[in-house]
Chain A
Amino acid sequence: MHQNTALIQQGQLVRLVELNRKKLTIYINGVATEALEGDTLLTVILTHQKFIRQTEFSGSERAGFCLMGACQDCWVLTEDGSRLRSCSTLVQANMKLVTPKANP
């Protein structure tokens, strides 16, 4: 349903260590995406693309900021519409996430 057009590019985060973990698949905007067990949703998203969401007001891209649950800048949606703070939610296999887009 969603197109990951602008999002298909190298990720923002770079994995340095802890690479030998079990692989999982989740779906970001309908696209199958590889994750490692123990990743936060933020890590999964930002190891594949540069940003997490667009702001409600200006539509500018955001990728979270504080990574410790304080700035509230990394919220994503599940396909059924609930909101998850991606920096403090660990990934589960087959999760279906939607990255928030600016209002058209």
Chain B
Amino acid sequence: MTQPLKPVIVGAGPAGIRAAQILVAHGLRPIVIDESARWGGQIYRQAPSNFARSSKQLYGFDASKANSVLSAMDSLLSKVDYRPNTLVWNAEGGQLDVLHEGNTSAVDYTDLIVATGATDRILPFKGWTLPGVFSMGGAQVALKFQGCAIGQKVVFAGSGPLLYLVAYQYAKAGANVMAVLDSSHFSQQIKAVPSLLNQAAVFAKGVYYLAWLKAHGIAIHHGATPTEVMGAQSVEKLIWRNSQGAHEIDCDAVATGYGLRSESQLADILGCKFVFSNADNSWIPQKDVAGRSTVQHVYLAGDGAGIQGADAAEWAGELAGLALIEDRQIQQQKNHSTRTEELAKYLQKRIAFGRGLSIAFQDPKNWACQTTDDTVICRCEEITAGDIRQSAQSTGAQDVNRLKAMCRVGMGRCQGRMCGPAAAALLADCTQQSIEKVGRLRGQAPIKPIPFVQSPTLKNMSSDTKVAT
């Protein structure tokens, strides 16, 4: 090792911060690149600096965890090269292309920890592009980051732990929660209890939110699926169904999401191998227990490589940092191997909890075949379920990338972040294949839109010399 290491961490959420902490503890000075203005990721997202709410008000039961992660990063600021407001939009040959305040530059790395997090997993319903429909995480961001509710009369429709958490946060903040529509059946949730007790504290919080909502008279419906949002120019009512039939709720906003999906575009561009994860019902970048990807010196940590939640992200970040130290034969600290084993054990235990969650929170039954032809699936390109079905039939597309080439689903600005899971489910249904078989939309540079003048032709003209010195 004659050349000094240039470790780079992408993402400053719980995984990225814990990874940075380990590298610093071993004498390294990583570059920490984050798209947000302030660290914390989505889960521990910080409000703008002039906001006044306490961390208890912002993060509730998770305030002490949030404080721990946020203050860890605070104390690292002088020991890392922290680059907020910076988007990694491409990676090639030991170099990341980044965009910061409209300028693109290159960042060299020898070792890379990818901790890119997740966004909501969306299953569209008719009318979901109307103003007033937001993702579940988006509804939470509005409140946590901006102090706003997404509307005067809000319905929460979806599944997953966020459903009850965000509904609770809204009601507690004084918003008018019209109903919580959970696609899962209550009996399923009872069945999942033994596995969920594996993370008893997390489970207890979920039970608390549900009980609180019920105690405050908020309608909670299980086995309930949103079928159509109606309104002239914005949300006016939501139609939903359950085994008893169709129902209508007067509302002006809907938050929706069915769990989370990994932000895996960067891992894809880096050439990491992907595997199908039954727990995520999706393809995710492959990693070993410690977070090593299939590409040497590239590590994966947190929800960007399979959804495991914030606690697991902290463990995985720390573990990836320790793996990097091990792989580069840097002097290990005394407790290195015991800590490594301990973290691996925590993560192993979290897998059983994840299985419980996937029993407790299920997608709407037969979502794909119940979705009407006139439902927009790809909101960027305005491609409907009917377009997808017709394209699959007329072209014989068996794979989502082929489907994308044929009908533009997933080809828009978001690169299939919003429509990817839905497009895969529809194609699987049309072609009588599994979700695994239809594959995944491949990530492409730029990972997110960049200004036209910053196109790759300029990239070699502005290589960032600050990094090299």
Contacts and interface: CB of A to CB of B under 8 A. Distances in A.
A40 B234 contact: no
Contacts of B379: 62, 65, 71, 73
Contacts of A37: 48, 50
A71 B417 contact: yes
Given A13-B150, A15-B147, A66 B120 contact: yes
B380 A73 contact: yes
Contacts of A19: 147
A58 to B, nearest CB: 6
B194 to A, nearest CB: 34
A40 B382 contact: no
Contact of B418 (A40, A63, A71): A71
Interface stretch (B124-132, B158-166, B266-274, B291-299): B124-132
Interface in A22-45: 22, 37-40, 43
A6 interface: yes
Majority SS at the chain A contact face: loop
A14 B175 contact: yes
Given A50-B131, A63-B234, A72 B150 contact: no
Interface in B243-278: 252-253, 263
B448 interface: yes
Contacts of A88: 35-36
B14 to A, nearest CB: 16
B362 interface: no
Nearest to A60: B129
A54 to B, nearest CB: 10
B235 to A, nearest CB: 9
A55 B382 contact: yes
Contacts of B139: 67
Contact of B173 (A16, A50, A63): A16
Contacts of A47: 148
Interface in B292-322: none
Contacts of B418: 65-66, 70-71
B174 interface: yes
Contacts, number: 144
8 contacts: A13-B151, A15-B148, A16-B143, A38-B47, A52-B131, A61-B234, A62-B379, A73-B380
A51 B414 contact: no
Interface in B57-92: none
Given A51-B131, A72-B380, 18 more contacts: A13-B150, A14-B148, A14-B150, A15-B147, A15-B148, A16-B147, A16-B174, A38-B49, A43-B142, A50-B132, A51-B233, A62-B379, A65-B129, A65-B138, A66-B134, A71-B379, A71-B414, A88-B35
A55 B233 CA distance: 13
Contacts of B123: none
Contacts of B150: 12-14
Given A12-B150, A62-B129, A72-B414, A67 B134 contact: yes
B417 A18 contact: no
A101 interface: no
Interface string B164-189: 00000000011100000000000000
A60 B35 CA distance: 29
Interface of A: 6, 12-22, 37-40, 43, 47, 50-52, 55, 57-58, 60-73, 82-83, 87-88, 90
B112 interface: no
Contacts of B456: none
Interface string B394-430: 0000000000000000001110011000000000000
B332 interface: no
B137 A13 contact: no
Contact of B413 (A13, A18, A57, A72): A72
Contacts of A52: 131
Nearest to B152: A14
